[in-house]
Structure 1
Amino acid sequence: MPAQQHMEQAALADLRPTQMTVGAAEVAVKRAQWAQLKPKARDKLLQSHWFPAVRGPRGRFFIVDHHHLGQALTQEQVANVWVMQLADFSDVEPDMFWRLMEFHHWAHPYDEKGRRHEFASIPRRLSQLKDDPYRSLAGEVRKAGGYAKDAAPFAEFLWADFFRPHFDKAALRSAGGQGLPESAVVSAVALARSPRARFLPGWSGVEAPVAPGA
């Protein structure tokens, strides 16, 4: 393990996000899963799902993954979680800190409409992350096998931006207020497997056949 990496407990409320949105439907699923766990299972989950983070200005931890789980646990009033420190940039000036975070692909300053903002616009608390239903759609499509999980940072946000012009926001609201309509997920899976998505990470569709003489 590199010298900068180590595990420690931290207050969940003190963890700083490195993105602006989450998929509220995905957060709701994680809350439902948490509600079904008994105390021992909850402890086991917290010990195995540590939050990768970078120590930044004023010694704060900036998490680079598990934002959905973090918001779910925040709403469930969990106090402490385990953090894996990936790097220590606490001695770096704030502007350079964010330059380093961008260089390492550890920050994603895009809002719920896919628009880029200054890094200063990233919320300071997990509870302040806004809902992007297209991010929820991207997550559901991946779970349904529409595309493969990819190691590229923020790959699901790229898929969310791909779906954005193809689905009306109102069509992503379920009658019960939670989850996504199955019809929208089915349509998005078909789109994800089509040649139109072949440039995206994790694409697992089939190229359209080339006509003879083309």
Structure 2
Amino acid sequence: MDFNLEECSQKSPRGLLFQARVSELRPTQSGVGLDEVYAKAEAMSRKNKDDLSAFLLIRPVPVVIGNGGRPCLTDHHHLARAVWEVAQNKNEAGLDESNARVVVEVINNWSVLKDAQFWKAMHDNRWVYLFDAMGGGPLQPAALPKHVKDLRNDPYRGLAWYVRSHFGYAKMPADFAEFQWAQFFRTRMILDNRLLSNQIEDVDILLSRMKAEERQELIEEAISLARSDEAAGLPGYSGRR
């Protein structure tokens, strides 16, 4: 995939669009909802080269350049991981690992900042989420994944996506909004009872692979919680209807 843009580099200035290989993007969080990732990847895999290029051109991924000159994601981890997933399988656009790219917008170039200075600046700007896929932390920045393919599944992040898609709450620009909802559901719901009998771990749970009636029951329970007084104050809370 080539967007006819300059490749993102250590010298790329802020405020401009570039293109970057997905393999070069450094995650700034540990988990994603793979239910959302796989849904995005399935839709993108059916697009031809021109359609996929047009789709990604209007969805630039925000990055900060720093700590070795790599572009560090500040948002759209799900989109970047979905493009990588498309490249792993047959797709209409002919994407593979070597040409899997996205459009990036450089929101800051902090290549002069190193190690703790860089991560402090990222943390102060709320551009890094130092918690693992199960919400534990804070972590050392060195524990963050080095590649989008290493982002682990957080099923509650996936549940939050399902709930928002069913209008259980509204999408808001608040910092780490989806993670706040994931933590809210994590402390109130068990998504698969096999967890209680030590048969699986949370990272193995995918709502998209459940029976339709089981998935719908969980989504309805989560929507009810999202509209309860307990959720008041969370970003996008819509209250009872």
Alignment TM-score, normalising by the size of structure 2: 0.80
**Cα distance per residue 1:185-207 (max 9 Å; x no partner):** 11101110010100211111049
Q: Distance in 1 between matches of 2:210 and 2:117?
A: 41
In the TM superposition, residue 105 of structure 1 has moved relative to its aligned partner by 0.7
In the TM superposition, residue 131 of structure 1 has moved relative to its aligned partner by 0.1
**Cα distance per residue 1:154-193 (max 9 Å; x no partner):** 1000000000022113166448359981111111011100
In the TM superposition, residue 29 of structure 1 has moved relative to its aligned partner by 0.3
Match of 1:59 in 2: 69
Match of 1:153 in 2: 175
Match of 1:203 in 2: 237
Change (3 A) 1:197 1:166: same
In the TM superposition, residue 37 of structure 1 has moved relative to its aligned partner by 1.6
Change (3 A) 1:10 1:57: same
Matched, 1:19 2:29: yes
**Cα distance per residue 1:13-47 (max 9 Å; x no partner):** 00101100000100110011112222221111121
Q: How does 1:79-98 map to 2 (within 5 A)?
A: 79-98=100-119
3-state SS of paired residue (1:145): coil
**Cα distance per residue 1:118-146 (max 9 Å; x no partner):** 12111010000000000000111111111
In the TM superposition, residue 103 of structure 1 has moved relative to its aligned partner by 0.7
Q: How does 1:1-214 map to 2 (within 5 A)?
A: 4-77=14-87, 78=95, 79-116=100-137, 117-170=139-192, 173-174=206-207, 176=209, 181-206=215-240
Identity %: 34
Code of the aligned partner of 1:156: E
Code of the aligned partner of 2:25: L
Query: What is the number of residues matched between the two proteins?
Result: 205
Gaps spanning 5+ residues in structure 1: where?
208-214
Change (3 A) 1:97 1:197: same
RMSD between superposed Cα atoms in Å: 2.0
Question: Retained in 1: the 8 A contact 2:31–2:133?
Answer: yes
3-state SS of paired residue (2:209): coil
In the TM superposition, residue 68 of structure 1 has moved relative to its aligned partner by 0.7
Alignment TM-score, normalising by the size of structure 1: 0.90
Question: Retained in 1: the 8 A contact 2:229–2:239?
Answer: yes
Q: Distance in 1 between matches of 2:22 and 2:49?
A: 18
Question: Retained in 2: the 8 A contact 1:9–1:83?
Answer: yes
Q: Which structure 1 residue ranges, 4+ long, deviate > 6 Å from structure 2?
A: none
Code of the aligned partner of 1:192: A
Gaps spanning 5+ residues in structure 2: where?
1-12, 88-94, 194-204
